[in-house]
Amino acid sequence: MMLRNLNRKSFADLIVLFIFLFSTNRLLAQQEIPENIKDQILKGTEALESAKVPQDIENAYNLFNQAAEIAPLYPDVHYFLGKTLSLMQGNTERAIQEMKIYLELYPDAPDREQVNIEIKELESSAIFKKNSYLMGISLVELSDGIYVHRVSPNYPPFGRRGVPIKTGDKIVKINGIDVSEYSLQEIMSVFEADSLEIEKPRKIVVIRGGQEYSLDMYKRKKDFDPVIKDLGEEDLAVIIVNTKKPLVVFFISDWCNECQNYFNDRSIDRPTYKYNKDIEFIYANIDERSSLTKEYGIEKSPTLHFYKNGKLVDKIIGYDNDLFMEKADNLIN
């Protein structure tokens, strides 16, 4: 018997069930939990069960990720990791990959059909996220709703209202739509539709400290240099490995003037235009994909990583257009 369908309605019951199975040494995925990851699995499920703030989900992710690194052939840990990733904005493709690994390692899984349904739902949500852009805000799903995971430190105030949204705010309404029972995938679909209408401000209602607040939230269409691909919900590690051309990744954050300097040059001689036939360009928003900072060692934005044959060969920290041109030349020669 296995822990499945980790959503708000069955969240606590399933965690209790898993802890019972764990404590009685029952089998998961037709094998016992490896001794060297029992501690991570138990602490990960406890972190999910008691999750009250966004950081708790991140802690669970870190524990399941450690377990997957230690015991990569244990099927269930990949499912736990995939489900946890699906609760964190920007990780849809990674969640899909982990669930597929689970099925590859456990081809006779009794819940194979249900897991395939979950994978298809995640794939559909990733496909439609083309314009949703939260401009410095990332979200996470807890057992009772959707919360703000992080807010860019450079997020500007809205007139006299101050910073309109804070880490830990629970979002309950968007433009009058009650989203208190929405999943992360569903709420991102609302943001996606709203991003198409940039003339009107986005109105949200949040719960903070037990009180409701009506706030404004910045929005705009994704409008960076058209030759640069937006990472969105895709798995950057997969892109790095599979890209046949040399690759440059811009790790950027919102409201970052140095970041914008790389994209403000609209002349025909701008670097991304000059090299776009020989180099693939992609930008990764570390405000909306906060896990990237740890995974790729990003301490400041902008940071540029230069890849060749799937290997990191050079980097730039900060804005230096001349150095960018020089390193781009080196990348293709």
Higher pLDDT, 198 or 27: 198
Q: Which of 59-63, 132-136, 149-153 has the highest mean pLDDT?
A: 59-63
**What average pLDDT does the structure give for the chain?**
83
For 181-203, what is the mean pLDDT?
Answer: 81
22: in domain: yes
CATH number at residue 107: 1.25.40.10
Determine the pLDDT at residue 288: 83
Q: Which two tokens stand for residue 322?
A: 């001349």
Give how many domains the chain has, as a whole number.
3
pLDDT-based confidence at 20, cuts 50/70/90? Answer: very low
Query: Are residues 256 and 211 located together in one domain of the fold?
Result: no
CATH number at residue 189: 2.30.42.10
273: in domain: yes
What is the tens place of the pLDDT at every residue in 264-298?
Answer: 766 556 778 888 889 999 989 898 887 888 889 99
**Which of 217, 237, 252 is the last residue before a domain boundary?**
217
Query: Are residues 29 and 78 located together in one domain of the fold?
Result: yes
Query: Are residues 120 and 17 located together in one domain of the fold?
Result: yes
Rounded Cα distance between 261 and 259, Å, is: 5
Taking 90 as the threshold, does the pLDDT of residue 42 lie above it? no
**Euclidean distance between the first and the last CA atom of the chain, given in angstroms as a whole number:** 55
Taking 90 as the threshold, does the pLDDT of residue 81 lie above it? yes
pLDDT-based confidence at 257, cuts 50/70/90? Answer: confident
Query: Are residues 105 and 183 located together in one domain of the fold?
Result: no
Hey, what amino acid is at 63? L
Asked if residues 77 and 67 have their Cβ atoms less than 8 Å apart, the reply is: yes
Query: Are residues 197 and 254 located together in one domain of the fold?
Result: no
Taking 60 as the threshold, does the pLDDT of residue 3 lie above it? no
What is the tens place of the pLDDT at every residue in 91-105?
Answer: 889 999 999 999 999
Query: Are residues 19 and 115 located together in one domain of the fold?
Result: yes
The pairing of strands 311-317 and 303-308 is antiparallel
Query: Are residues 109 and 20 located together in one domain of the fold?
Result: yes
CATH number at residue 262: 3.40.30.10
Rounded Cα distance between 242 and 126, Å, is: 19
Asked if residues 179 and 206 have their Cβ atoms less than 8 Å apart, the reply is: no
Cis peptide before 226 (omega within 30 of 0): no
Higher pLDDT, 191 or 307: 307
Question: What DSSP line would sit under 118-162, residue for residue?
Answer: HHHHHHHHHHH-SS---SSEEEEEETTEEEEEEE-TTPPP-GGG-
**Is residue 245 annotated as part of the catalytic site, yes or no?**
no
- 208: helix, strand or coil: strand
Structural domain containing residue 267 = 228-332
Predicted TM-score (pTM) of this structure: 0.82
71: in domain: yes
Query: Are residues 239 and 207 located together in one domain of the fold?
Result: no
Taking 50 as the threshold, does the pLDDT of residue 17 lie above it? no
276: in domain: yes
Taking 50 as the threshold, does the pLDDT of residue 8 lie above it? no
**Which of 183, 217, 251 is the last residue before a domain boundary?**
217
Query: Are residues 145 and 105 located together in one domain of the fold?
Result: no
**Is residue 256 annotated as part of the catalytic site, yes or no?**
yes
Query: Are residues 204 and 250 located together in one domain of the fold?
Result: no
Closest to 292 in 3D by CA, of 239, 252, 332: 252
Taking 80 as the threshold, does the pLDDT of residue 39 lie above it? yes
Measure CA 88 to chain center.
5
Q: Which of 256, 284, 298, 304 is catalytic?
A: 256
Q: Which of 171, 259, 284, 328 is catalytic?
A: 259
**Which of 174, 196, 217 is the last residue before a domain boundary?**
217
Query: Are residues 285 and 232 located together in one domain of the fold?
Result: yes
6: in domain: no
Q: What sections of the chain are H helices per DSSP?
A: 11-23, 38-49, 54-70, 75-85, 92-105, 112-128, 184-195, 236-242, 257-264, 271-274, 291-295, 321-332
Determine the pLDDT at residue 267: 58
Determine the pLDDT at residue 228: 86
Check the CA dihedral 284-290-291-294 and report its sign. Answer: positive
pLDDT-based confidence at 116, cuts 50/70/90? Answer: very high
131: in domain: no
179: in domain: yes
Phi-psi region of 27 (alpha: psi -120 to 50; beta: other; left: phi over 0): beta
Q: Identify the H or E element spanning 249.
A: strand 247-252
Query: Are residues 141 and 90 located together in one domain of the fold?
Result: no
- 228: helix, strand or coil: strand
2: in domain: no
Determine the pLDDT at residue 177: 94
Q: Is 200 exposed, middle or buried (0-12, 13-18, 19+ CB in 10 A)?
A: exposed
